[in-house]
Amino acid sequence: MKEIDKLIEVSRRYGSDSRFVIAGGGNTSYKDSEKLWVKASGHALATITEDGFAVLDRSKLNPMGEKKYSADAAEREAQVKDDLAAACITRDRRPSVETSLHNAMSAKYVVHLHPTLVNGVMCSKNAKAECASLFGEDALFIAYTDPGYVLFKKVYDEICKFKKAKGYEPKVIMLQNHGVFVGADTVEEIDAIYADMLAKIGARTEEADLTPTAVCDCATEVVPAIRSMLSREGRGLKVIRVVKNALVDSFIESKAAFKAISAPFTPDGIVYCKSSYIYVAGADKEDVLKKAEAAIEKYVAEKGYTPKVIAIKNIGLLCVGDSAKGAGIIAEVFTDCLKVAWYAQAFGGEHPMTQKQIDFIDNWEVENYRRKVCAAGNKGRAENKVFIVTGAAQGFGEGIARCLVEEGANVVVADLNEVTGNATVDNLNSICKNNRVTFFKTDVTDIGCLAALVKDTVVNFGCIDAFVSNAGIAIAGDLTQMVPQKFEFVTKINYNGFFYCAKVVAPVMKAQTKYDPEYYGDIIQINSKSGLEGSKANFAYAGSKFGGLGLVQSFALELAPYRIKVNGICPGNFLDGPLWSDPVKGLYVQYLNAGKVPGAKTVEDVREYYLSKVPMHKGCTPKDVTKGVLYLVEQTGETGQALPITGGQVMLK
């Protein structure tokens, strides 16, 4: 195996292990006498390839330890940045901020990580003494030093002193409130050092309890309201991830308990979660919202940006991101902060960063660059909006979900088919940028199941911007063939199901519109052209769709005062979808068997018959319908409408 392949392998292995890496942090390197390969900024260890490493000329790096730079901090950092750029052989990759530290260690391989257990020691009050006790004098302890050149120079000088005193270099360098560097000439030795390190710390600590605990049902209205508070007045749509487990509960039980985690422990904590957080406890839902609104507005007025973490007793940690990906990273990083605080209790108690140290990180150009890289992503028409799409595991619903994902939406695939639904989610997440897709097993005829869907969506995303009621079924048959049981089954899914969906989502949307005067919510039923005109030998389906448009208009009148739009979309036939083309139970087969198309002898005859009825001579597609969905969501002047997308087959009078 080539050395670069070994570096890639060890990087991916540690980068994929949550015990060592949170939110893609840490960096790795390999060096020979002439060159240094080090992780470039913006690349995650878990998925890194050779293109993810910057290559630098060591002959230009080596003098930096002895070089005299400006006494002015800003000028000095600019000079160091220029020297690193001059040493870069790969000009298209910005080397890790810790590049000079990697070069200062002579070991061939250096793996710098932020293991939670290690930071439980390094972010404790007794960090220096515990470091010596656990790892002996051969581990070099570095008291907290601002990152950048100052930290590099401190480590460089301490390595020189260590080497002069002992005749060899340290293989382990512990950085207070930061992490650990491990260097060795083989990957196997690095593995052994890390394994020994975690075993020794683990023997002194009790594992943090991350057992999920129940989120209060009130969250379904409280969290969406807070999302609206955070997103108002041009602040941009936010996404919220709610985290609640036994560890979280222990820290949000009271304001006094929360104080232990009210300041960051590491630079990464500041980069992703900022440096101050909001805690709210109230007597009831209205009290919580009143206190939360006052705290958020005060926070924004003082700091100029919205909070990243809001702790609400009985509900959990609200991790607020500028995207679903961002909210997920904040949840991961802040949960790690809780674990660090928990483990620190075994080593004298927690030791957060000082305000001076925090201010440096907040204003450091390198960390601002990392924030920009994290936030980068293309914007779509549905960016950061949250959609529930029922019946989205396959067919028309899957196509709508896919098109929404491509436009930047976060989508909940709500479907009864769990196996296909999960496969669809995996597939859709593979094309996501900063958005995210989840699955929830859903029976639209069960109002309790739908209530659970709504709550799960709020916990994962913080809101519901649009509910697309797409789940439906068609069973063809004339009056002599149709039995009551089948008629009732079609009605229950297509008609009753839409009523249930609107009923459970309306309170969430009311909470959202109440706290943002510019916000509109959307309930959209994917109806049918059969909801606009009768359908021979298909009356069960047509009747349920006609009824659906009655519900659309009635719900629209009721919810208009709350700025919740309710509309229907009436697609033409999705002639290439499984509803039509399934060889066993598709509508082509059903209609052929029911004699619905006069003279038709084959499935192809049925298909051609339906194509001939469309002036534009094309079937309706999920992309066509999604354009209609996006139009209805974007406009604010229409509600109670039935939007036909039929290729001209049905024209409104």
Hey, which residues are catalytic here?
A: 541
461: nearest Cα among 240, 238, 243: 240
Pairing of strands 172-175, 53-57: unpaired
Cβ neighbours of residue 155 closer than 8 Å, sequence gap 6 or more:
101, 104, 142, 173, 175
DSSP letter at 563?
Answer: T
463: nearest Cα among 412, 408, 512: 512
Pairing of strands 35-39, 27-31: antiparallel
Helix (H, G, I), strand (E, B) or coil at 484: helix
Q: What is the signed CA dihedral for 263, 267, 272, 277, rounded to 10 degrees?
A: 10
The two tokens of residue 558 are: 């009721």
Summary count for the chain: helices (H), strands (E): 26, 18
Rounded to whole angstroms, the Cα distance separating 496 from 401 reads: 23
Pairing of strands 309-312, 278-280: parallel
> C-alpha distances in angstroms, 621 versus 190, 566, 603?
55, 22, 20
641: nearest Cα among 525, 530, 533: 525
Amino acid at 647: G
Cβ neighbours of residue 137 closer than 8 Å, sequence gap 6 or more:
none
185: nearest Cα among 121, 126, 108, 243: 108
Strand ranges, E, within 251-379: 278-280, 309-312, 316-321
Rounded to whole angstroms, the Cα distance separating 523 from 159 reads: 64
> C-alpha distances in angstroms, 620 versus 11, 473, 603, 628?
48, 17, 18, 12
Cβ neighbours of residue 423 closer than 8 Å, sequence gap 6 or more:
none
> C-alpha distances in angstroms, 429 versus 289, 405, 408, 439, 571?
33, 8, 11, 11, 27
The two tokens of residue 449 are: 């199941």
Pairing of strands 35-39, 53-57: antiparallel
Helix (H, G, I), strand (E, B) or coil at 183: strand
> C-alpha distances in angstroms, 561 versus 514, 524, 553, 564?
11, 17, 14, 8
Our CA angle for 98, 277, 244, nearest 5°, is: 95
> C-alpha distances in angstroms, 130 versus 118, 139, 301, 319, 650?
11, 11, 42, 32, 77
Rounded to whole angstroms, the Cα distance separating 202 from 346 reads: 10
Neighbours of 35 (CB within 10 A): 15
DSSP letter at 451?
Answer: H
Rounded to whole angstroms, the Cα distance separating 391 from 249 reads: 35
The two tokens of residue 27 are: 């960096």
